[in-house]
Structure 1
Amino acid sequence: MHFDVIVIGAGSMGMAAGYFLSKSGKRTLLIDSFNPPHDKGSHHGDTRIIRHAYGEGEEYVPLALKAQELWNDLENMTGKKLFLQTGVLNVGMEKTDFIQNIISSSKTYSLPLDVLDCNEVNKRWPGITLPNEYIGCFEPTSGVLKCEDCISAYRELAEQHGTSILSHSRVKEISVHDNGVTIKTDHQTLYSDALVVSAGAWSGSLLSMLGLNLPLQPTRKTFAWFDANDNFFHHNDFPAFSFETAQGLYYGFPSIHGSGLKIGRHDGGEKINPDVSIPGFGQLAEDEADLKEFLHHYIPSIQHLKYGKTCMYTLTPDEDFIIDLHPHYSNVAIAAGFSGHGFKFSSAVGKILSELIISGKTEQNISSFSIKRFS
């Protein structure tokens, strides 16, 4: 069976790419080892933060703003509520790169940002207790994406435009040749003119079939929900947040429809093989203790764990993304190594991948995400 484009990995980036490719008229097939949205990769857990003034570097801001525009478009096209404008509170020491990048990028791109001292933060959100040396940077126009609903919405549109989805199917072999691409799965052989690889934690092993050995490290991560008083922590009144602390970098979400406060730690984690069973939440002693230690210091009224989950990050050494064409095959586009902060961008990344396949170039500046930096 022959397609114009095959996309391996139909999670956040791949599903969006499938929509944009099929919308452009390309006969597109998405292949996934599971049935997206699912809980076997990096896109589950109900919610993801979208920040605009970006602590990881100003080069991300245009991509974040484009992604927000496309998420708004997706809401309008599907009639689904995908984005909650809770605002995002970024907390840390004033002189750190993270906080300074947020402040400088807000100025460069004229983004609304309230810079607050610890007393102003504690007064505005009584559930939070900041020490004197911390400040808060509040982005009122940022907020929360409902991640699995986002993927379902893109899937709905992609299928409406003729995209085929082959779920529960694992790719065993990939070869690129003069006439296109050949892909062998568990049960069949498929052909296409072009290929997109966006397979999350499995990207490294798939790309090795194409002669690329990229420094991609799958990592086990945990997050959990805690009982929370909606008088203080309801999403209408309490923001999503990111805290850079002496203990580590943590993030969290308000209580949405009574879900409780959701907390996770961004740094740390255990190296894993995604094909080997990953320990569930609570199987490692530090899973709960680490999150409770953060809460004890900064949100002390939250104590009782409801439940936790695990997911995977795929880390690059610099924790920046890989979005590029294959260095030897102009008909192969790659999106990988999103290092735990990629979901918010997946609408824009999907569009970029479609542009790379269709024309070999994109409107967005992706020079920071080049494969060449690892050569």
Structure 2
Amino acid sequence: MRTSYDVIIVGAGSMGMSAGYYLARQGVKVLLLDAFDPPHTSGSHHGDTRLLRHAYTGAPVYTELALRSDQLWRELEQVSGEPLVIRSGVLNLGPAKAPGLEAKLQRAADYKLAVEALDAAAMESRWPGLQLPDSYIGVYEKEAGYVRSEACVRAFRQQAAAHSADMLPFTPVTRLESVSQGVAVHTLDKGTYTAKHVVLSLGAWFGVLQDTIRLPIRAVRKAVAWFEAEEPMFDVERFPGFTIGGGDGGYYGFPSSCGSGVKIGRHDGGQAWLPGEAFEPFGHYAEDEQDVRRALEMFMPRAAGRVLRGAVCKYEMTPDEHFIIDRHPDNERIVLAGGFSGHGFKFASAIGEMISDLVTKGSTGFDVTPFALSRFR
């Protein structure tokens, strides 16, 4: 195996594996390193599914990235032959006049996206499984849905390999060093590799390379659960993906598919975690089930049956919950991609392409100003 590459990617999860594919298919010599064997359960991409939406709040670049990501997910489906996108629609729920819902409607108007604004009665009529306060409204995106996250990472890995990218799983990186050829990447037990450029996309594991870069990223343990629901009322053929915002917290979820049950998670809260600490399984904390069950009992009581399955993953939170996509402040050969704050996976295809452009072209067609590391300084 060679030891010198054009690009080494440290952290081959959602963003790293995507970047590896988009680089490799251009003929770039790529090495992907990961401490585990992607797709795996030690990062942020497992748990089967991630919502895919277009009418996004925050900087306009989010909607632009969501639309580009959707195109690229379709392309990945075609080249891999793997079904990756489920067009279930997504229903965003919350109190009338909630700033987030109003912002979604405005963004949809700005980008001419097909959305519907619905009151509580209309939503309960269309989706009888809902039980909503009269004050709630919904923003429904018919063309939205969800992606199969682990299948996406697996497809990126297979396609990167097909374009001659090298992959070393179970290869923790211990440090980086500037050398005349570019950057040397030292691993725990598989030697040292050099590259002209390095991409760091370690997710919740950025803390293991604090000698290289200290980022304002806080890792958080998050729990999700699948609940037995009345079928076929909540089946994917009849019920959409959803988000729920309000004073009781922020939630997101997915319809039942082939009897999987309704999946639901809570976006806020969670337990702080540091690399090296124990990562407790689902059910270790009472709130793992209680928090999400409470939301179902309130808004979808006929989906609040017994827990069929639970899982835990990691969020990698920045202080403002926006991403970090930038160059290392002291070494322009190192590109940083992290802090995806629990809402990054839907963009993974476009962000992988963006990273590829930053490495090969030195720039990208997207406005990356909102993702600059300097905003925290």
Q: Fold conserved (TM > 0.5)?
A: yes
For residue 184 of structure 1, give the secondary structure of its aligned residue in structure 2.
strand
Report the AA paired with residue 243 of structure 1. I
Distance (Å, rounded) in 2 between the aligned partners of 1:85 and 1:308: 24
1:312 maps to 314
* Partners of 2:207 and 2:111 in 1: CA distance: 35
What amino acid sits opposite 2:208 in the alignment? S
2:302 alignment counterpart: 301
Q: 1:20 aligns with which of 19, 22, 27?
A: 22
Q: 1:326 Cα deviation (Å)?
A: 1.5
Give the equivalent residue in structure 1 for 2:119.
117
Matched, 1:94 2:96: yes
Contact 1:241–1:251 (8 Å) recurs in 2? yes
The number of equivalent residue pairs is: 373
* Whole-Å separation in 2 of the counterparts to 1:313 and 1:177: 33
Deviation at 1:213, TM superposition (A): 2.0
Q: Please give the alpha-carbon distance, in whole angstroms, between the structure 2 residues aligned to 1:226 and 1:185.
A: 42
CA displacement 1:71-111 (0-9 Å, x = unmatched): 01101111111000000000012222211111110000000
Structure 1 residue 209: deviation in Å? 2.6
Partner of 1:251: 252
Runs of 4+ residues deviating >2 angstroms: 55-59, 176-179
Indicate yes or no: 2:179 matched with 1:177: yes
CA deviation map 1:327-375 (0-9, x unaligned): 2222111110000000000000101111111121011111110111011
Say if 2:194 is the partner of 1:191.
yes
By how many angstroms is 1:57 displaced? 4.5
Alignment of 1:1-375 (within 5 A): 1-187=3-189, 188-206=191-209, 208-210=210-212, 212-302=213-303, 303-375=305-377
Which deviates the most, 224-233 or 308-317? 224-233
Structure 2: which amino acid aligns with 1:198? S
Q: Give how far 1:190 is off.
A: 1.0
Distance 2:239 2:233 in 1: 7
Q: Shift of the alpha carbon at 1:307?
A: 1.7
- Read off the aligned partner of 2:93 and give its amino acid letter: V
**Matched-pair identity in %:** 42
Question: How far is 1:55 from its partner?
Answer: 3.3
Is this contact kept in 2: 1:173–1:183, CA < 8 A? yes
Deviations 1:99-130 (A, max 9, x none): 11111100000000010000001111000111
Question: Is 1:55–1:100's contact at 8 Å kept on the other side of the alignment?
Answer: no
| Amino acid of the structure 1 residue aligned with 2:269 | G
Counterparts of 1:174 and 1:257, CA distance in 2? 46
What is the CA–CA distance in structure 2 between the aligned matches of 1:73 and 1:21, rounded to whole Å? 16
User: Residue 274 of structure 1: CA displacement?
Assistant: 2.8
In the alignment, the residues of structure 2 paired with residue 204 and residue 40 of structure 1 have an alpha-carbon distance, to the nearest angstrom, of 15
Question: 2: distance between equivalents of 1:177 and 1:69?
Answer: 38
Q: Report deviation, 1:56.
A: 4.2
Gaps in structure 1 of 5+ consecutive residues: none
In the aligned structure 2, how far is the partner of 1:81 from the partner of 1:213?
Answer: 38
Structure 2 residue runs of 5 or longer lacking an equivalent are: none
Q: Deviations over 1:20-67 (max 9, x none)?
A: 111111110000000000011100001000110013453310010011
What amino acid maps onto 1:237 in structure 2?
A: R
Contact 1:320-1:338 at 8 Å conserved across structures: yes
Contact 1:31 1:167 in 2 (8 A): yes
Q: Which residue identity is paired with 1:213? A: R
